[in-house]
Structure 1
Amino acid sequence: MPPSPFSVSIAYINNVTLFSCATPVMLDYQVPCLGDPGSRIYAVFSNRRLKFLIPYLRSCSKMYDLSVPFGDWVGNDGVLQFKWSKPNCRECEGKGKRCRWKNNGTNGEIECQHVRKPSNTWKLVVTGGILGSLLLVLLMIAAYRVYSADRKEKESRLRIERFLEDYKALKPSRYLYADIRRITNQFKDKLGEGAYGTVFKGKLSSEFFIAVKVLNSSKGDGEEFVNEVRTMGHIHHVNVARLVGFCADGFVRALVYEFFPNGSLQDFISSADCKNSFLGWDKLQDIALGIAKGIDYLHQGCDQRILHFDIKPHNILLDQNFTPKISDFGLAKLCSKDQSMVSMTTARGTMGYIAPEVFSRNFGNVSYKADVYSFGMLLIEMVGGRKNIGSTIENTTNEIYYPQWIYNLLEEGDDLRIHIGEEGDGKIPKKLAIVGLWCIQWHPVDRPTMKTTVQMLEGEGESLTMPPNPFLPTGPTTRNGSIPARRLELEAIAELE
């Protein structure tokens, strides 16, 4: 056993017997450190006679005998006194070391030991863990930003590529017949067919759809094709359909337009009494105003004045937001802006929308006012939802020209007898009808310009005055309002080839 700095003063040694008892008993010494929850341990001096102890030991069983040292008496108890022998550590402490008892030494020998500084390993582990976590978070943030920037860059490049693809179509491009077959998927999706050709749906890119009009080779001498390409090639207006490109490959002639998913205005006004196709008067007023602005642009906004000569609902296309687009410039004419009239050898246009002077010079020379007349007829049709070339039956016996019937109702202050819609406001159709009647005056000088027409549509309907009766075959009329009442003697000029 290694030496110890402790020493014990022992006065005497007694023999004792240990008993384990199930219940508490009246014995000399209890040994708590040896007991357990189910028993108590008692020490009895071995020199005591057992016959005196038997009454107390009935619940007890003997364990074993042992010798126990007893110390000097202090007060009423014998106490074991431990003494400490302090080692001489000055030499170790002088060397900055610690001293301890030598394990294999004798006579209380000591040895010096190097002082170990407290370990900082756990601090380093905790600090490293925190710094590592922060570094991981920073790396994740940096990686996400790099990924996000790369994704935005890719999206930006893709957007630019799409724009460049679509930008190619901003100016009319010439296509080969093979290109036309490819972009129409071999003419798979047919949209419609008319007197001058067949229209097919196609696409130039994943987001840019087009309508391709393949002209009939048996119709005309190519004048319509030349007119479309020459006229629409330099037109850029929100209310004018854009010519994307054309094809003149051998005997094949085709025109490539923007595609408008809502079709033409004709589809929505041919039956205004049908609630399923009725757009509402607010929307119809916006469409009428857009058409008027588009025609005004053709007359005043281009380098040369463009006369359409075929304004009608079928030639007004509607995009996804029902924004009107004027299309089909096959009958259009170009003239200088400083001269107002064009000479024509034959009438052109669609029956019901052709101005009187186009048929007979008795009503005046042909000018941009012919488009004003066609627009007026379009407004009347938007109000009534029926063809202007037909008639309506009143009192079941007399047939009357529909625009004249509308004029008679307004002149008499009667209701227009048309579908009003849920808003229940008849002010808009009345305003459209009055503007339309101003535009269809027999003589060109009595009609407003498209600029004035736009102002009339943008203003309040209550400020409009009724126009003269356009169905009386008289000369130019004197009118109230902002439109000058005078006959203009305008010079007829040759068409620009």
Structure 2
Amino acid sequence: MLTAHFWPLFQESTVVAQEVVPYETHEFTFAEIVAATDYFGPHTVIESARSVYKGRLRDGRVVAVKRITDRQSDSTKRKFHSELDILPQLRHKHIVRLLGSCVTATKDKRLLTNPQQKKKRLLSWWRKEQQEPEWLTVYEYTENGTLFHHLHPDQGSSELSSVTVPWKTRIDVLLGVSRAIEHMHCHANPPIIHRDINTQNILLDANWVPHVSGFGLSLVCDKAMSEEFEMTCPVVGTIGYIDPEYMTRGHVKLTSDVYALGIMMLEVLTGRKVIQEDEQGAIYLKSFAVPVIEAGNIRGLLDTRPVPEPTPGQLRALEHVAQTAR
């Protein structure tokens, strides 16, 4: 079980079971999503590369909408269907909440279901667009973006956040992510392998609570879960976080996610990117951090940005996190 890797640093699996949050998903009409995002206006764009928009539903809920069109790749469409299959099985407080979806090949039919006063405006807008199939997913909105953004702000930025300042928040984020992974591995039936645990897939809400996202590459374990469970499949994921055994042999296991979490723990402790370039080439975080940890120089490992000096108690906790990551 995942807890075997983290005990006593992380709490028992009974806590994870208590953090399950039941909710229902909804099939949205295209018209509802268009109205919520103000016709996918440029001012609603959250992430242009992934076609993610901010919206507000009629009941007042703020949401994030991911939009996939027929022009996008087959792999992108497969990720859409993977999330639709997997996320409804994972209703944990530290896993992003899928509120619903919309799949439409003929959007004019969807538009006709809207109230009469909106129909003319929507149809006028739609005639200006290329008529093609679309796949849309609607998620809860997380106000504070990704963990990656806070650890690695844009060059020249002096931005500090509640993630980069207090050490306690950094460790709380890791605890939340670990519980989400334990839920996927030990409480979901069948178990789920995420395959792309990284800081860009950790979303932070208004209270800096972490939510694991990015389930487009995830796999369902269709056999009884054990430490020996593995599958042979094409290698996918984010370079730097991928389990070396999976990278070289194509064998992915539940522990592949544990490896990625270990890399993320080093990233949170050091504030360094997983791969950095210098004159000699690529420097992998693991190659830098593990020798420092093994030498017992935990202070030499920690992020040097302006954060409060850790107290003796915090330093002991950070050393425990570092040893667990190693």
Match of 1:219 in 2: 73
Alignment of 1:379-398 (within 5 A): 379-390=265-276
Asked if the contact 2:265/2:325 (under 8 Å) is kept, the reply is yes
CA deviation after TM superposition for structure 1 residue 423, in Å: 4.2
Asked if the contact 1:184/1:200 (under 8 Å) is kept, the reply is yes
Match of 1:198 in 2: 51
Tell me: CA distance 1:344–1:176, structure 2 relative to 1, closer, same or farther (3 Å): farther
Match of 2:195 in 1: 309
Q: Would you say 1:231 and 2:119 are equivalent positions?
A: no
Letter in 2 for 1:241: V
Alignment of 1:19-418 (within 5 A): 170-188=23-41, 189-194=44-49, 197-217=50-70, 218-220=72-74, 222-250=77-105, 251-270=133-152, 276-277=160-161, 278-336=164-222, 338-340=224-226, 341-361=229-249, 365-390=251-276, 400-414=283-297, 415-417=299-301, 418=303
Asked if the contact 1:392/1:401 (under 8 Å) is kept, the reply is no
Structure 1: how far apart are the matches of 2:210 and 2:282? 33
Structure 1: how far apart are the matches of 2:139 and 2:284? 36
Instruction: Between the two structures, name the one with larger relative contact order (CA 8 Å, sep ≥ 6).
Output: 2
Structure 2: how far apart are the matches of 1:351 and 1:279? 27
Structure 1: 4+ residue segments shifted above 4 A: 271-275, 397-400
Structure 2: how far apart are the matches of 1:409 and 1:274? 27
How far does the alpha carbon of each residue in 1:333-372 deviate from its partner, in whole angstroms, 9 at most, with x for none? Answer: 10136144343431111111111122222xx832111111
Q: The residue matched to 1:360 in structure 2 has which SS?
A: helix
Asked if the contact 1:308/1:329 (under 8 Å) is kept, the reply is yes
Structure 2: how far apart are the matches of 1:407 and 1:343? 28
Asked if the contact 1:392/1:402 (under 8 Å) is kept, the reply is no
Asked if the contact 2:195/2:218 (under 8 Å) is kept, the reply is yes
Asked if the contact 2:37/2:54 (under 8 Å) is kept, the reply is yes
CA deviation after TM superposition for structure 1 residue 243, in Å: 0.5
CA deviation after TM superposition for structure 1 residue 206, in Å: 4.9
Letter in 2 for 1:252: E
Give the aligned length. 262
Structure 2: how far apart are the matches of 1:408 and 1:234? 40
Tell me: CA distance 1:335–1:400, structure 2 relative to 1, closer, same or farther (3 Å): closer
Match of 1:433 in 2: 322
CA deviation after TM superposition for structure 1 residue 321, in Å: 0.9
**Whose strand fraction is larger, Structure 1's or Structure 2's?**
1
Asked if the contact 2:233/2:252 (under 8 Å) is kept, the reply is no
Tell me: CA distance 1:308–1:388, structure 2 relative to 1, closer, same or farther (3 Å): same
Structure 2: how far apart are the matches of 1:413 and 1:381? 18
Tell me: CA distance 1:392–1:421, structure 2 relative to 1, closer, same or farther (3 Å): farther
Structure with the greater alpha carbon radius of gyration: 1
CA deviation after TM superposition for structure 1 residue 203, in Å: 1.5
Tell me: CA distance 1:367–1:202, structure 2 relative to 1, closer, same or farther (3 Å): same
Asked if the contact 2:195/2:256 (under 8 Å) is kept, the reply is yes
Letter in 2 for 1:416: G
CA deviation after TM superposition for structure 1 residue 431, in Å: 2.8
Letter in 2 for 1:269: L
Structure 2: how far apart are the matches of 1:177 and 1:315? 26
CA deviation after TM superposition for structure 1 residue 219, in Å: 1.4
Letter in 1 for 2:97: R
Question: Which consecutive unaligned segments of at least 5 residues does structure 1 have?
Answer: 1-168, 438-497
CA deviation after TM superposition for structure 1 residue 380, in Å: 1.0
Asked if the contact 2:165/2:307 (under 8 Å) is kept, the reply is no
Match of 2:108 in 1: none
Question: Which consecutive unaligned segments of at least 5 residues does structure 2 have?
Answer: 1-21, 106-132
Q: The residue matched to 2:177 in structure 1 has which SS?
A: helix
Letter in 2 for 1:204: L
Letter in 2 for 1:276: L
Structure 2: how far apart are the matches of 1:368 and 1:406? 24
Tell me: CA distance 1:333–1:400, structure 2 relative to 1, closer, same or farther (3 Å): closer
Structure 1: how far apart are the matches of 2:54 and 2:47? 10
Tell me: CA distance 1:429–1:416, structure 2 relative to 1, closer, same or farther (3 Å): farther
Tell me: CA distance 1:274–1:365, structure 2 relative to 1, closer, same or farther (3 Å): same
Asked if the contact 2:82/2:215 (under 8 Å) is kept, the reply is yes
Using the aligned pairs only, state the percent identity. Answer: 28
Structure 1: how far apart are the matches of 2:236 and 2:266? 21
Tell me: CA distance 1:253–1:333, structure 2 relative to 1, closer, same or farther (3 Å): same
How far does the alpha carbon of each residue in 1:438-471 deviate from its partner, in whole angstroms, 9 at most, with x for none? Answer: xxxxxxxxxxxxxxxxxxxxxxxxxxxxxxxxxx
